[in-house]
Amino acid sequence: MTLTFLVQHAQKQPGAGDPELTALGNDQAARTARWLSRLGLTAVYSSPQRRARQTAEAIAAATGLEVRLDDRLRERMNWDGRWPLSDFMAEWDRSTRDRDFVPGGGDSSHQAAARLREFLAERIGEPGPVAVVSHGGVTVDLLRSLLGDAGLPDQLIAEGVPPCAITAFDALNVVGIARTGHLHEEATG
């Protein structure tokens, strides 16, 4: 079985499009990279979106691995600025409540979960462990499909996954949800 560390990208700049990481985000990515570098990673995968790529590049630099991009790791939907943020958020909220709703320019929660599940299923049997940098919405979508809403902390659905939180899988079995202790370990010692 392959142990997979699904990493939420680090804190991003506010705004539309494909924003990069903030200074704090770069620090979070570096702390996460140092923690993961001790685990003997064999691969680093990333969403093609800039915030995820930059987080993955920090992990790759710390481990000597190359970043492998995979479009299935992208977010459920991404605000490009061509429509008001309030409209985007209304679509996001609706797609969170109604998992079959397909928002404009994105995937339904079920579709997003299915593509991330497919990606993780393909890793089963590969040498591991591996790091996979993705996004909070699609991570929650997958967890909801695997565990049901009752199996998740309420704040995870309502507030999302914290920056650089790590959700761990042994094959498709969830062994840790949105853990951030590695950020605090690095901060204190």
At 46-91, the pLDDT tens digits run 999 999 999 999 999 999 999 999 999 999 999 888 889 999 999 9
Query: Which pLDDT band holds residue 104 (cuts at 50, 70, 90)?
Result: confident
pLDDT for 35 equals 97
pLDDT at 188 over 90: no
Query: Which pLDDT band holds residue 1 (cuts at 50, 70, 90)?
Result: low
Contact yes or no for 25/162 (Cβ under 8 A): no
pLDDT at 43 over 60: yes
Q: Which domains does the chain have, with CATH numbers?
A: 3-79+113-188 (3.40.50.1240)
Tell me the residue length of the chain.
189
Mean of pLDDT over the chain: 94
Q: What is the pTM of this model?
A: 0.94
pLDDT at 110 over 80: yes
pLDDT for 109 equals 97
Best CA proximity match to 45, nearest among 112, 119, 111, 141: 119
Average pLDDT of the residues in 91-96: 94
Return the exposure string of 15-48: e unless at least 16 CB atoms fall within 10 Å of the residue's CB, then b: eeeebebbeebbbbbbbbbbbbbeeebebbbbbe
pLDDT for 154 equals 85
Measured CA to CA, the distance from residue 135 to residue 114 in angstroms comes to 14
Query: Which pLDDT band holds residue 115 (cuts at 50, 70, 90)?
Result: very high
Measured CA to CA, the distance from residue 143 to residue 131 in angstroms comes to 17
| pLDDT > 90: percent of the chain | 85
pLDDT for 105 equals 84
Contacts of 157 by beta carbon, 8 Å cutoff, 6+ apart: 96, 140, 144, 149
Query: Which pLDDT band holds residue 98 (cuts at 50, 70, 90)?
Result: very high
pLDDT at 100 over 80: yes
| pLDDT > 70: percent of the chain | 97
**C-alpha dihedral sign at 74, 77, 81, 82:** positive
